[in-house]
């Protein structure tokens, strides 16, 4: 089997607890990080861009548990810090099956914490929340003059095991191997990308930056959708408790409309904020009008289930609004009962008053 050479990218993406004002990052760091843009090497229009472009912060070479890595961090405006560890490899893909990097996540946490501390002044719309970081591995094969399709055919079981994080290639069924191989996209005869939920294998002898940027971007979107989904779960619980308190018999009737209005305002602000953030998340991928980049992004989006996470966020927002509608309906119903009672009481009072005058 042909010896392959290239490198392994280990990504760790962290939620920043707010959105970054990228124009402030330069002032905060007192230097301008590099903008990481797509290079569009595959006949794609140059005017299409990732907006706003993430900023790149070179960390440099670091030796972790005896292995040397080139380390880079990127800052995304939606509130994500991505830490990338890159190391070279040379040999058969099978040798990477047992590749379980030690100490990378701990180092990534250390680097991201330092960056977040430095960029605290550049954060806006902050929130107090924490979700587990997204990690993603991309194996890049750089051999020149190879047939990418043939490489896939010869290594499809190994590639399937790598993307399914299985150490033993014999454990996977033929159907599962076939399913993984079908998740491939190719442009030239010597390039190919097989994309999975936890990682990807990329064959690209020329310039792989487009593919890597797309995969990193999709994972940043996934992280933020997960973050806001968790935030909305907590907000839903809080709103439910608030609504129950408002509609309870112990709550004063006169105070209920004011409290309902306050809750409605909070819910409206929350929906606006989440809608804006989700819009920003998807606006980063405005390049999808291009055929190759768009197809690559669509495949990554499908594998990471971005649409399902987006739908979950929308459902949580609807749930919060339903709580408000329920509370408003209950308050209106109670108010109508009291109004009817007062009307009946006034009628009775008028009757009694009339009878009293008549008796006199």
Mean pLDDT of 14-30: 83
Same domain, 200 and 223: no
Is the pTM above the cut of 0.85?
A: no
The pLDDT assigned to 29 comes to 74
156/69 Cα distance (integer angstroms) = 27
pLDDT tens per residue, range 272-315: 777 777 777 766 655 545 677 778 888 998 999 988 988 888 88
Same domain, 177 and 242: no
Same domain, 152 and 271: no
Same domain, 177 and 313: no
Q: Rounded to 5 degrees, what are φ and ψ at 273?
A: -65, -50
Alpha-carbon torsion (340, 345, 348, 349), positive or negative: negative
**Torsion angle in degrees (nearest 10) through CA of 140, 227, 101, 207:** 10
Residue 333: give the domain boundaries: 218-359
Same domain, 200 and 341: no
| Residue 57 confidence (pLDDT) above 80 | yes
- 52 cis-preceded (ω within 30 degrees of 0): yes
Residue 211 counted as domain residue: no
Which one has a higher pLDDT value, 333 or 341?
341
């Amino acid at each position: 089997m042909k010896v392959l050479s290239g490198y392994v990218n280990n990504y760790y993406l962290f939620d920043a607890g707010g959105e970054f004002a990228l124009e402030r990052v330069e002032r905060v760091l007192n230097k301008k990080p590099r903008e990481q843009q797509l290079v569009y090497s595959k006949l794609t229009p140059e005017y299409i861009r990732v907006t706003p472009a993430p900023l790149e912060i070179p960390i440099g070479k670091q030796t972790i548990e005896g292995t040397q890595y080139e380390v880079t961090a990127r800052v995304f405006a939606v509130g994500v810090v991505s830490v990338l560890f890159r190391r070279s490899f040379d040999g058969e893909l099978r040798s990477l099956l047992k590749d379980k990097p030690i100490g990378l996540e701990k180092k990534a946490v250390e680097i991201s914490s330092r960056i977040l501390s430095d960029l605290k002044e550049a954060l806006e719309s902050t929130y107090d929340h924490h979700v587990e970081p997204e990690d993603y591995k991309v194996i890049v094969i750089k051999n020149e003059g190879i047939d990418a399709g043939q490489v896939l055919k010869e290594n499809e079981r190994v590639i399937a095991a790598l993307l399914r994080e299985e150490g033993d290639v014999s454990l996977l069924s033929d159907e599962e191997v076939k399913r993984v191989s079908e998740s491939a996209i190719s442009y030239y005869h010597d390039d190919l990308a097989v994309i999975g939920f936890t990682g990807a294998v990329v064959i690209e002898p020329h310039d792989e930056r487009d593919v890597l940027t797309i995969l990193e971007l999709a994972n940043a979107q996934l992280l933020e959708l997960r973050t806001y989904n968790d935030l909305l779960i907590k907000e839903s619980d809080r709103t439910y408790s608030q609504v129950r308190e408002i509609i309870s018999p112990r709550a004063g009737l006169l105070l209920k409309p004011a409290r309902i209005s306050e809750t409605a305002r909070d819910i409206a602000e929350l929906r606006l904020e989440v809608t804006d953030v989700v819009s920003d998340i998807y606006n980063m991928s405005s390049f999808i009008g291009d055929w190759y980049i768009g197809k690559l992004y669509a495949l990554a989006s499908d594998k990471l289930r971005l649409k399902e996470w987006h739908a979950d966020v929308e459902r949580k927002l609807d749930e919060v609004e339903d709580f408000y509608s329920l509370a408003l309906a209950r308050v209106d119903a109670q108010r109508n009962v009291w109004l009817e009672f007062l009307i009946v009481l006034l009628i009775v009072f008028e009757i009694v008053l009339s009878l009293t005058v008549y008796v006199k």
